[in-house]
Amino acid sequence: MFNKGKVDKRENERGKNLRITKRDMEMLKFVLEMGQVSSEILFERFYKYGEKENKTKYMQNRISRLKKAEYLNTFHTHDGPRKWICGTKKSRDLIWGEFDCSNMKLKVFEKIRLSQFRHDKSVAQIRVMLELGNNEISWREKELSSYNDKVFIPDGVFDLGTQVYYLELENVRKSYQYIRNKISNYFSSKSIKGATLLIVSHEATTLANYKKEVKERAKYRVEEYFSWMEEDHKFDCRSVSSLEVLSRKNKEYFDDLVPIRVIFLSFKDLERTYSSNGHKSIEVLIRSYQNQSEKVIFETFRHFSNDIENQIKKIKSHEIFKDIKEEYQENLSYLDLCKHHENRDKRDKEQKKLDEKKWYNF
């Protein structure tokens, strides 16, 4: 009778005097940034490749202690016995004091968002795949605005080398109008010019419709660019300064042609590649798809750029170019140099004849 309200001492004190480790801090930051995360994702990201034995048990114990200390809340969901985890105001205050959180909003949910359940899980999985393969990836959020000042937020922003990527993940079938509006937002946003849009979808029809819309938007620009490329630009008649202007125009044309590069990936392909080939494989996969998507247009751009550069080298390496006064060099075309060369040869021949005549008269 007297034992009814008795609480086990170990259970009662489990969250007290808890020393927060570096891994705890990084995990709390990750949970707050993503909003809601499953225990299996935390295991993959922070525990699976560590040094501890019996890692699953260790992680479960650690999450339980962080919950007792009111740094985490845990929830069970319909998809099995695994837990879903959210941060608390206490953990948010701790992370604010330890990290620069200007690039990510720290989210505190009182309960999990079932409407975003599959979507948030997939975004977190992609982030984990990338970060385990490249520890220099900086995952962040960014508000963007389209041509009509409509604000939209990608599902994630990250860098691979010098290239910026914006992630859009679709976990259910989307209408064509929804897809059209989303692509319109990205193509009209001036703040992301030159970046790459990574579209990942669980659903094949949605991915196919994204490809169709991007292709339709690029079609007119590509045809216009190729038409311009086929014009007779008469390289030999152009001066160095004129060729440099043409080179800049070519780059501007190309940048307008591809305001944002687009890569399309199936989520199943990402998972299959990751499980088969390991951490680095996702970065390699993304880069390979980018190369494929740009190959035809980029090759055309590159060849034309090379032709311009070669023409400039051709002028500057001409044997009489260095004999021309520097202030006139930029205004010379290859035909000008050939003409100068021809005139000089003609003058030399005439001078030679005069010299021979003088010698003969002498």
pLDDT in tens, 66-95: 999 999 999 887 665 568 899 999 999 999
pLDDT confidence of 348, banded at 50, 70, 90? low
Lowest mean pLDDT among 3-17, 240-254, 271-285, 306-320: 3-17
pTM of the model: 0.70
Does residue 6 register a pLDDT over 50? no
Does residue 147 register a pLDDT over 80? no
How many whole angstroms separate alpha carbon 31 and alpha carbon 104?
12
Q: What is the pLDDT of residue 208?
A: 93
Per residue in 240-284, pLDDT (tens digit) is 888 888 888 877 777 666 667 888 999 999 999 888 887 788 888
Q: What is the mean pLDDT of residues 137-150?
A: 83
Tell me the pLDDT of the chain averaged across its residues.
Answer: 82
Q: What is the mean pLDDT of residues 323-344?
A: 82
Count of CB atoms within 10 A of residue 238's CB?
21
Buried b (16+ CB within 10 A) or exposed e, 193-226: eebbbbbbbbeeebbebbeebbeebbeebbeebe
Q: What DSSP character marks residue 139?
A: -
Output the six-digit token pair for 103.
């690039």
Q: What is the pLDDT of residue 54?
A: 58
CA dihedral 328, 331, 336, 337 (to 10 degrees): 60
Q: What values do phi and psi take at 222, rounded to 5?
A: -65, -45
pLDDT confidence of 320, banded at 50, 70, 90? confident
For the four alpha carbons of 40, 42, 47 and 49, in that order, the dihedral sign comes to: positive
Between strands 261-266 and 196-201, the pairing is: parallel
Does residue 130 register a pLDDT over 60? yes
pLDDT confidence of 292, banded at 50, 70, 90? low
Class of domain 11-112: mainly alpha
Does residue 15 register a pLDDT over 80? no
Q: What is the pLDDT of residue 2?
A: 38
Does residue 7 register a pLDDT over 50? no
**Cβ(297)–Cβ(262) under 8 Å?**
no
Distance (Å) of CA 84 to CA 20, 45, 229, 256: 21, 15, 55, 44
Q: What is the pLDDT of residue 258?
A: 64
Does residue 164 register a pLDDT over 60? yes
How many whole angstroms separate alpha carbon 134 and alpha carbon 216?
34
Output the six-digit token pair for 49.
């490749």
Q: What is the pLDDT of residue 136?
A: 81
Q: What is the pLDDT of residue 11?
A: 47
Q: What is the pLDDT of residue 66?
A: 95
How many whole angstroms separate alpha carbon 27 and alpha carbon 6?
33
Which long-range contacts (C-beta less than 8 Å, at least 24 apart) are formed by 90-95? 91/28, 91/31, 91/32, 91/66, 92/32, 94/20, 94/25, 94/28, 95/25, 95/28, 95/29, 95/32
Q: What is the pLDDT of residue 33?
A: 94
- The residue type found at 5 is G
Q: What is the pLDDT of residue 24?
A: 94
Assign 346 to helix, strand or coil.
helix
Q: What is the mean pLDDT of residues 130-142?
A: 87
Q: What is the pLDDT of residue 55?
A: 78
E strand map for the chain? 37-38, 72-77, 80-87, 144-145, 151-152, 156-160, 163-170, 196-201, 261-266
Does residue 1 register a pLDDT over 80? no
Higher pLDDT, residue 303 or 171: 171
Q: What is the pLDDT of residue 220?
A: 66
Q: What is the pLDDT of residue 9?
A: 46
Provide the percentage of residues in the chain whose pLDDT is more than 90: 30
Output the six-digit token pair for 229.
């490329």
How many whole angstroms separate alpha carbon 172 and alpha carbon 45?
25
Does residue 168 register a pLDDT over 90? yes
Q: What is the mean pLDDT of residues 144-155?
A: 84
Per residue in 179-218, pLDDT (tens digit) is 999 998 888 887 887 788 999 999 999 999 998 888 887 7
